[in-house]
Amino acid sequence: MTNNNSTLPILQKIVEDDAVGQLRRRDGMMARLGSEDGVLKLDWVEGVARLLADPARLEAVEAEAREIQERGIRHIIWAGMGGSVIAVRVLSDLGFCGGDADPSSRQHAASLVTIYPLDSTDPAALNEIVREIAKAKNLVLPAPGASQISGSAGTNAQVTNEREEDLSQPTFLSALLSDVMMIGVSMGMTSEEPITHLTWFTELLEQAHLRPAEHLLIMTLPGSYLDVFAHEHQVPSRPLQLDGGTGTGGRMSAPATRVFLLPAALFLTTYFPGQSGQLRSVLQRAWNEYNLELATSRPVEHPFVRLAAAMSAASVNGACRLLVNMPQGWQALVAWLEQLMEESLGKGGKGVVVFKDQSLNPAAPGYQEEGMLRTRVITEETQSEDDQSFILPQPSLASSDASDRLAALAASFLGWQLSMALYGYLHAITFSGQPAVENYKTRARALRTQHDPLQVAANWQPILQSGRLTLLAPAGTIDWDAQVQTDLSRRDAAGQENASSPVAFARVLQKALATDSTANRLEYLDLTVNGEAPTSLLSVLDEHIHTLGNKLIGLPVKLRKAPAAYHSTEQSEMDGPPSLISLRLVATKSEVSLLGSYNNTFLHAQAVSTWQAMLEQGRPCFLLIIDGLLEDATEPLATFFLQVEDYLRKL
């Protein structure tokens, strides 16, 4: 499929319009599409080239990394959402941020700085990081238990005296936090999650009698909510762009802003001590491999230009489902790619929806090749090609050398960004900004002031109860005809009690599959889990959503983790390709924060506000409220999905 003739006229348009040249010059249609509120947001295009031309700036970042190490900092909590943290999570998953993912971390234990990405408002996420830091210091913390839960109104259940007496002691907190730093990052103007994390951490530092200014750092845009916080609390700050510019959107944060550069510098200065210029060397190799000059002068020969043309050729009405098969060990990159494509392009019913590669049942009622492109990233030219996939060669991903892998990652970031911008150009999509998500942010801000954001369930119609599960369905989706009533009676007689909510969800799927409208046909399913679910539950949900979507319906599926997903792919779900059905899960209770004060009110506000915003946009979205903890819902959720699957199998 690499040389598909359908891409030739598209490639010709890219050549004739000098689309890459427009992007680099920041003029023409590319300038309009790359602007937000009339302000150009294209600094990322030549950002690496500018850094290479001014190596002193990169050396300054390396100096910052060394200064952090020399101060004795060994743990960094990186608090941010979306583009402020996803690249860091990719770096962490690939072993560039210390911890268990780094096979050689023991060799550099004395100077190793471990980075913990934090993009959740669930107290359980804070607890997990606290436990990891405590484990590294052989400090004992109580395990999570039923006596340590936060209720639906954010009130904490009674906790053990041991927690009250020991964990709040300045001596214990000082031992735990003396070498810990929190970096709060926001590449947008209105993100508030990092502020809640910084507030929580600052209170702990004060209890430990540690100076907050020595353990905090903020990187954000001038005038943002986080910038206001930094000034009010006198927190040290650094600009995101090394030149102080503000023309880089969050999903373009890697590799030319501190979001990528500081973690990379911490890695390089640890593993290559005494060798200056390592950061510049990595970026030079990445820039050479990316080869923007080739994309400008001979676009047809550039693999990421060809990829943009292939996505465009596969699209229907500007919408494309992209199934990505990454080489072994590089799957973490898909989450970053999801945000890049979906937040940038998911607008006006158009866009690229990204999925991890998955096998679809071609005999299922919802299966359709139209509007879908499978892309396989290969590391060797000798790897077999097939007619069903676009082949994207990236041989540098095969390297085992740490600095070469870091350069290969940076080159990948650059290449995919080029493909995104060209797709936006071909379909006239403004790829800067994410206007749809401001709706739910405003709603969440209001809901956070309420005693219990989940109280919306009390007055919602239609509402269906199945044991500890309460399903809030979109208005007008439930119509119990005689056939359904008979079926429910049969299920009750067979011992399948409380089947109304799974049957209601299955009926909506059935109706979506039965439509003759091309514009309204179902193209993918989304299952979003609000909060930190245990691995065992995620495994069960993953199995069921793939059975339901891939096997029974024949469609790709997403299993998202929220609230992180609301800063990465929610723009597309709200305003991108409309042919989806989304089911969101939220539990009424969470773990109580082991340290300090942090409850689940913000988490619940986000779950409700995003659901409300989806409904306002006319998107079919269900909210499934779990009475209790996520970890206690495995059996009822498995039963729910088994009943949905059973209904669809009988069609």
- Rounded distance, CA 78 to CA 116, Å? 6
Q: Structure tokens of 314?
A: 């596969």
Answer whether residue 601 shows pLDDT above 50. yes
pLDDT in tens, 179-204: 999 999 999 999 999 999 999 999 99
The DSSP line for 10-54 is HHHHHHHHTHHHHHHHT-HHHHHHTEETTEE--TTTTHHHHHHH-
Provide CB contacts within 8 A for 63, sequence distance 6+: none
Where do the structural domains in the chain lie, given as residue ranges?
Answer: 10-39+291-426, 47-140+162-282, 437-649
Edge-first strand order for the sheet with 114-118 is: 114-118, 75-79, 180-186, 216-220, 237-239
User: In this structure, are residues 574 and 107 in contact, taking their beta carbons and an 8 Å threshold?
Assistant: no
Answer whether residue 625 shows pLDDT above 50. yes
pLDDT in tens, 461-518: 999 998 999 999 998 877 655 455 455 545 544 544 456 899 999 999 999 998 766 6
| Mean pLDDT on 307-336 | 98
Which pLDDT value is given to residue 482?
Answer: 44
| Range list of β-strands (E), 326-477 | 351-356, 372-378, 389-393, 463-466, 469-472
Cross-strand partners of 559: 527
Tell me the C-alpha to C-alpha distance, in Å, between residue 52 and each of 280, 281, 500: 6, 9, 61
Is domain 437-649 classified as CATH 3.30.70? no
- Rounded distance, CA 132 to CA 136, Å? 6
Handedness of CA 53, 54, 60, 61 (dihedral sign): negative
Handedness of CA 248, 250, 252, 256 (dihedral sign): positive
| Mean pLDDT on 307-334 | 98
- Rounded distance, CA 431 to CA 34, Å? 6
Higher pLDDT pick, 589 / 150: 589
DSSP one-letter code for 452: -
- Please name the CATH architecture into which domain 47-140+162-282 falls: 3-Layer(aba) Sandwich (3.40)
Answer whether residue 158 shows pLDDT above 50. no
Tell me the C-alpha to C-alpha distance, in Å, between residue 572 and each of 479, 557, 575: 29, 14, 5
| Mean pLDDT on 592-598 | 96
For tokens 């590089």, the residue is 330
**Could you check whether 47-140+162-282 and 437-649 share the same CATH topology?**
yes
pLDDT in tens, 358-409: 999 999 999 999 999 999 999 987 655 566 799 999 999 999 999 999 999 9
Q: pTM here?
A: 0.94
Answer whether residue 2 shows pLDDT above 50. no
Which pLDDT value is given to residue 104?
Answer: 53
Q: Structure tokens of 265?
A: 């510098």
Cross-strand partners of 621: 582
